Amino acid sequence: MSLLGKAGFASAERESGFAAHRAGVDRLLASYRAIPAGASVRLAKKTSNLFRARAKNTGPGLDVSGLTRVISVDPVAKTADVAGMTTYEDLVAATLPYGLAPTVVPQLKTITLGGAVTGLGIESTSFRTGLPHEAVLEMDVLTGAGEIITATPDGEYSDLFRGFPNSYGTLGYTVRLKIELETVQPYVALRHVRFHDLRELEATLAKIVDEKSYDGERVDYLDGVVFTAEESYLTLGRQTDEPGPVSDYTGMDIFYRSIQHDSRAPKRDRLTIHDYLWRWDTDWFWCSRAFGAQNPTVRRFWPKRYRRSSFYWKLIALDHKYHVGDKLEARKGNPPRERVVQDIEVPVERTADFVEWFLREIPIEPIWLCPLRLRYDAATAGSTERAWPLYPLEPDRTYVNVGFWSAVPTTPGAQEGAANRAIEKTVTDFDGHKSLYSDAYYDKDEFAALYGGSIYTELKKRYDPDQRLLDLYSKAVQRK
């Protein structure tokens, strides 16, 4: 189908999509009004990509069942209107037929667009396109006060537009988001570049971010994996429409293992754009090994439809409910394990320092690296108008996200969350930030200094004056 033909089809789909969306919004508002005055408001959702403990609430929740679809795609303007609870799996499926994709596609299929905006997200385009919320043009938000408002960068609710990222649903929930899309090619050509020294990796990464190229080839995607201090890799992706053979890491082969090699020259590979975007989901990066899914014998009989992050989440939920892991460790005579599931950002010049500290102090490998820079807005350069105050990264500065997802043995008599507390302190010492989707142990004053302070307090007063939603500290920080 030609682009014009697709545009006409999209126009008809747009009208139908918005009609269905309005019906979903009506159900959402009816469910809000059905919650007794003074009672807490929460989403009635069955799944979550949060690892931190959540407050138990058995009361009725907001009906978001009608807010799970892509409303429309405009292939000419390169935008999409998307309901807040739409997963990136569904969003990508709707945009790829037009040769388009979100500017940032977080790694796991069940992450929702609304979740990535209110809770942050990152991927290998972030060194050139920033974070998911930076592609938002406008968003409809159901506030804690029960009003649906449209927030834009420059309108009446611009303070909410800027303060919404990293608020984790404590100011309201996204009902609809209009986002920018970018053109993508059918394939991604990969180079896996090995490093034996973390300082060299850090310097090379910083140079690629600045130049958007490496060894004469354009770089459209950039991330990395550290196995040990002597074995680390940067994976460089380049979009291409050149036909040719492609690899498949949804079967017996495992993507992160394909990165490793001993050659001094980069190892090359190719994936379809679809498989590149979801390269980490099949094995939840490398975390599927905890379930035996990377054992060749087990993997052969593990149904392919269950090799995805959404199924591993169900296994994690069972472990949380029945403490399976701790019971198995106890049978071996081992202490319980502390969950260390975190993403942090440090300035690029502190990357090697942090990784060296981490490898020395926290027995977890591999770890993921992903560089990012806030998008440059020439109209407001040098001002704070477009700053994101609840996660205040500096403009014109490169950061590196370091992700690590496992557990470590606890030490008898040690403070609860000892490993996580040590990570928090080191990240702060290195002028970094920590995402709030998992366990956190900050005291109130330190938390306020790191995550919005008085700006958040004023937003809370304006958009949730009756405290129908949890505040950010109560929601994000580990509670006994």
- The confidence score (pLDDT) of residue 185 equals 98
Alpha carbons 276 and 236: distance in angstroms, whole number: 12
Structure-block tokens of residue 430: 């290195």
pTM for this predicted structure: 0.92
- The confidence score (pLDDT) of residue 313 equals 85
Q: Which helix (H) or strand (E) holds 408?
A: strand 399-409
Q: Residue 285 to residues 50, 77, 404: CA-CA distances in angstroms? A: 16, 34, 10
Options 3.30.750.210, 3.40.1180.10, 3.30.465.10, 3.90.550.10; CATH for 3-183 is 3.30.465.10
DSSP result, 121-139: ---TTHHHH--GGGGEEEE
Question: In sequence order, what are the residues at sequence separation of 6 or more whose Cβ sits closer than 8 angstroms to the Cβ of residue 206?
Answer: 348, 349, 398
Q: What are phi and psi of 456, to 5 degrees?
A: -65, -40
Walk along the chain (480 residues) and give the pLDDT tens digit of each residue.
555 555 555 566 777 788 999 999 999 999 999 998 878 888 766 655 555 555 555 556 899 999 999 999 999 999 999 999 999 999 999 999 999 999 999 999 999 999 999 999 999 999 999 999 999 999 999 999 999 999 999 999 999 999 999 999 999 999 999 999 999 999 999 999 999 999 999 999 999 999 999 999 999 999 999 999 999 999 999 999 999 999 999 999 999 999 999 988 999 999 999 999 999 999 999 999 989 999 999 999 999 999 999 998 888 877 777 777 777 667 777 888 899 999 999 999 999 999 999 999 998 999 999 999 998 654 444 544 547 999 999 999 999 999 999 999 998 889 999 999 999 999 999 999 999 999 999 999 999 999 999 999 999 999 999 999 999 999 999 664
Helix, coil or strand: residue 82: strand
- The confidence score (pLDDT) of residue 39 equals 83
Q: What are phi and psi of 66, to 5 degrees?
A: -95, 15
- The confidence score (pLDDT) of residue 381 equals 46
- The confidence score (pLDDT) of residue 334 equals 80
Q: Residue 130 to residues 102, 187, 370, 395: CA-CA distances in angstroms? A: 12, 22, 11, 10
- The confidence score (pLDDT) of residue 326 equals 72
- The confidence score (pLDDT) of residue 330 equals 74
Question: In sequence order, what are the residues at sequence separation of 6 or more whose Cβ sits closer than 8 angstroms to the Cβ of residue 34?
Answer: 60
CA gyration radius for the chain?
A: 22
Question: How many CA atoms lie less than 13 Å away from 442 in the CB half-sphere?
Answer: 25
DSSP result, 350-397: GHHHHHHHHHHHS----EEEEEE-PPP-GGGTTSSTT--TTS-PPTT-
- The confidence score (pLDDT) of residue 318 equals 79
**130: exposed, middle or buried (Cβ count in 10 Å: 0-12, 13-18, 19+):** buried
- The confidence score (pLDDT) of residue 23 equals 92
